[in-house]
Amino acid sequence: MRCFAMKLFAAAFLLAVSCWAQSPIKRGEQVFAKSCATGYCHGVRGASSGAPRLAGRGFNQAYIINVVMRGIPGTGMASFATTLSRPDLVAVVAYVAMLNGVADPKIGSDGDDAPASTGPKFTGEAARGARLFTEAVRSFGRCSTCHEVDGFGVSVAQPISQVPASVAALKALATPDVKTGTTDNESMPVLMLSDGRQGTLFYDLTSAPPVERNAQPGSVKFTDGSTWRHSSVIEAYNDAELDAILTYLRAAIKP
Ligand code: HEC
């Protein structure tokens, strides 16, 4: 149902953008200012440090449509599928895409497909794996929530350099870079982005998608190791699907 609604929406989006060229961006800016930049939210032009910053994150359009339509369960990010009118949704997605450097919002992905660039490049099992890697029905359990491969996805983790030899090895993956962040009242698995005098920027891996956070110097204590398990974030796939994804990664990532 929802997936169908998203497809419809994506189709409407492409249609609207190709008909009105520039105008959805302007309208999107207004909708964004009214609905997204308020309170503890995304700030003027998506530049906030409260809720995650939206500008310049390398989000692709499929990802933006997904988040705006579904929201992010367990966070302050609501679904706007029913609260905004369709033209407003179209406009705001175009606007956030623009903030993320999608200069030509006519990119052909409707959220279920791998990017056009991986289509012709891979065949058979690898092509199936490419599709599974980014597949919208997996919601935030899909690999592209945290990994960018071939220009598609969000690089929460460092670029994948070692492709596990088997599904068993993928499930047993060690995650040496994940640390534990502790404050007075919470403890969370984190992936560091930068540490400086201004504070520490990190991803909180408590839920998917990981949330980018900024800690004042000294307010979060970081220790090596964590109880976070990579195997728990890939449960949206069965073994045969993971096998296809590994075939894709082997084809896409040059050692
Ligand atoms: C919620 C986020 C998240 C999702 C979803 C996710 N991963 Fe990861 N993955 C990570 C993080 C974080 C690391 C890095 C951990 C470290 O280096 O300590 C990682 C590491 C890896 C590595 C090791 C990379 C290397 O070069 O050593 C592989 C391979 C990998 N992931 C594959 C996948 C595949 C395939 C999927 C989908 C089936 C997936 N991941 C889904 C967060 C995620």
pLDDT tens column, 197-253: 888 899 999 998 999 888 888 899 999 999 999 999 999 999 999 999 999 999 999
Average pLDDT over residues 164-179: 97
Average predicted confidence (pLDDT) for the chain = 79
Kindly list the distances between the CA atom of residue 148 and the CA atoms of 48, 114, 134, 152, 252, in Å, as whole numbers in the listed order.
23, 12, 10, 5, 11
Tens-place pLDDT, residues 76-105: 677 776 777 777 777 777 777 777 666 555
Q: Which of 230, 233, 239 to mutate to test ligand 1, by most ligand atoms within 8 A of the CB atom? A: 230
Q: What is the pLDDT of residue 112?
A: 40
Tens-place pLDDT, residues 8-22: 665 555 544 444 444
CA of 143 to the centre of ligand 1 (A): 7
Residue with the bigger pLDDT between 229 and 39: it is 229
Q: Which two tokens stand for residue 170?
A: 């993928």
Q: What is the pLDDT of residue 2?
A: 52
Q: What is the pLDDT of residue 77?
A: 73
Q: How far apart are CA 67 and CA 96, in angstroms?
A: 11
Whose CA is closest to atom 13 on ligand 1? 157
Residue with the bigger pLDDT between 73 and 14: it is 73
Kindly list the distances between the CA atom of residue 227 and the CA atoms of 158, 175, 179, 192, in Å, as whole numbers in the listed order.
19, 10, 9, 16
Query: Out of 21-35, 139-153, 225-239, which region has the weakest mean confidence (pLDDT)?
Result: 21-35
**pLDDT cut 90: percent of the chain above it:** 39
Q: Which two tokens stand for residue 137?
A: 């029905």
pLDDT exceeds 60 at position 49 = no
Whose CA is closest to atom 43 on ligand 1? 146
Q: Which two tokens stand for residue 115?
A: 């990017």
Residue 81, amino acid: A
Kindly state if the Cβ of 237 falls inside 6 Å of ligand 1.
yes
pLDDT exceeds 80 at position 152 = yes
